[in-house]
Chains A and B, each alone.
Chain A
Amino acid sequence: MSKKIKKEARVISQRMLSEGIYDMWLETPIAKDVKAGQFVGVYPVNKATLLPRPISICEVDTEKSAIRLVYRVVGSGTAEFALYQPDDYIMILGPLGNGFPLDKAAGKRAVVIGGGIGVPPLLETAKRLSAMDGSDKPASVSAVMGYRNSDTFLSDEFLNFAKLFIASEDGSVGTKGNVIDAMKACDVPCDVIFACGPMPMLKGISAFARERGIKAYLSLEERMACGVGACLGCVCKTKSVDEHSHVNNARICTDGPVFDADDLDL
């Protein structure tokens, strides 16, 4: 695994992508080692805050040594990040976590599934899957993105890398319902799933995949402190014995955030 560092990154650009969702490009040496599905810890400057905010990496530009973060403002920390301007510097820690096992898509019909603020890390995942060649190349790449309403942020960018399917809870765009409804309604070709989103969605995907004998790799989220595997704050229940404590409680920040759905006790 690549070495983790804590270092200031230069803000290249920042814009509001949609209501409350921000899109920031950062120049950082971390970019050269990033895997799809990894994340960074981002530090607010406010001295009253202690912990880095885990934010998934949406896209990587290795030529410019840059990473893209698409995040939702949920509290004072992320509200502070939203104020950053080009050429400001922001402290980040990374790359963190394991990332998606893209090799599992070789020769398979791959589907990336994102829900809400779980959508961003799937963009780099779809991009890398579509760029694979030779024996690693997936038979097809589809993207199924779930939203609450017509605010389908980032979805158009998947068109460059995948066949796109959209689900919206209010039915304003694509299939009315959730990502599983869209999978079924559109008969999305699927042998392997890479997914990130809210827990009810991940549980649904896990059940969907199990019924059909499909492999699914799920990216989880939990309250974190250290981000590097020391504090044991962000654990999830696993069926197999975890590597660290041998108690079926794996660390999401280091053993994950991506887990084989078959190994999770959701």
Chain B
Amino acid sequence: MNTAVEIAGVKFKNPVMTASGTFGSGMEYADFVDLNKLGAVVTKGVASVPWPGNPVPRVTEVYGGMLNAIGLQNPGIDVFIERDLKFLESYDTGVIVNVCGKTVEEYLEVVERLGEEKRVDMLEINVSCPNVKEGAIAFGQNKDALFDITSRIKKVAKQPIIMKLSPNVTSISEMAKAAEAAGADAISLINTITGMKIDIHKRKFALANKTGGMSGPAIKPVAVRMVYEASHAVKIPVIGMGGIATGEDAIEFIMAGATAVAVGAMNFHDPYATENVLNGIIEYMERYKVEDINELRGIV
């Protein structure tokens, strides 16, 4: 049975990855999961300098999911290379580094710094975080801005780049096409869906940031639809995510057209979620006698 997949010439032992921001750099989950079993660890977004993030409360539960407005708190590229990348060196898994910035120049600085790092297999460019005032989603909601940042990053990147797209757009196909036209090696989607919750007892917003990104099983049908549309709009590989909790969910994304999948908010529900999703994929393949996971891609 073959579970290996390939994206832009990079081989992953299986299609199960972690969604950026839900898994740190793997350290916090190494108690629970054998990181060597994962297709790739996709790290929390890293910027050129440390970012403090948003005020609390930053998280709140909603029906079938959660809202977050962390605001990309991160230690900056220096500490990230020194500590997080060093930690990942001892594991035999794919390493995809998520990159964020307020300006194109800030993205480029991080991308250039990572160019020297042999342990980094791919870069995922975060142009879709809904919780920061500058950068991120500002580049991901306009196809010209997305084209511009993608092509500029592609010029300096030493590793293949994945553009992480926002669902908070009118046409995901247009955005996917813009990323592809600008030279992106792959796209990943969906980032969280902008939402709001009001605490009626306190008569206040549940999050200090007022709005937050919704994730969890409740958003899965939206994500499957968008992965389907995006993967039919472009030829580059698609990494699908949004509410994946089980192997069956992952298979659904693969059938919609995804080459790989990422487990996000469910890591918070179950620290063993990534391994369970992988086991579920293998069980499905055994049950339906699927020889190669790649046979299922886009089958519907």
Contact = CB atoms under 8 A, between A and B. Distances in A.
Interface stretch (A25-33, A60-68, A103-111, A221-229): A221-229
B221 to A, nearest CB: 15
Contacts of A49: 61
Interface of B: 21-24, 28-29, 31-32, 44, 50-53, 56-61, 63-66, 68, 70, 73-76, 79, 216-217, 265-272
Contacts of B52: 245, 247-249
A233 B59 contact: yes
From A48, A225, A244, name the one whose CB has the most chain B CB atoms within 10 angstroms.
A225
- Nearest 10 pairs between A and B by C-beta? A233-B59, A230-B28, A247-B52, A230-B24, A226-B268, A223-B57, A225-B268, A225-B59, A245-B75, A229-B28
6 contacts: A4-B31, A50-B64, A222-B57, A228-B28, A231-B59, A245-B51
B217 to A, nearest CB: 8
A183 to B, nearest CB: 28
Interface residues of A, number: 34
Interface of A: 3-6, 43, 47-52, 93, 222-236, 244-249, 254
A235 B44 CA distance: 16
Given A6-B271, A50-B66, A249-B73, 7 more contacts: A47-B217, A223-B57, A226-B22, A228-B28, A233-B58, A235-B53, A245-B74
Contacts of B58: 223, 232-235
Contacts of A248: 52
A120 B69 CA distance: 31
A73 to B, nearest CB: 14
Contacts of B268: 50-52, 225-227, 230-231
Contacts, number: 113
Contacts of B53: 232, 235, 245, 247, 249
Given A244-B75, A245-B74, A229 B61 contact: no
Contacts of B74: 245
B173 to A, nearest CB: 30
A233 B50 CA distance: 16
Given A48-B64, A50-B66, A6 B56 contact: no
From B51, B56, B57, B60, name the one whose CB has the most chain A CB atoms within 10 angstroms.
B56
A43 B66 CA distance: 15
A242 B195 CA distance: 30
Contacts of A223: 56-60
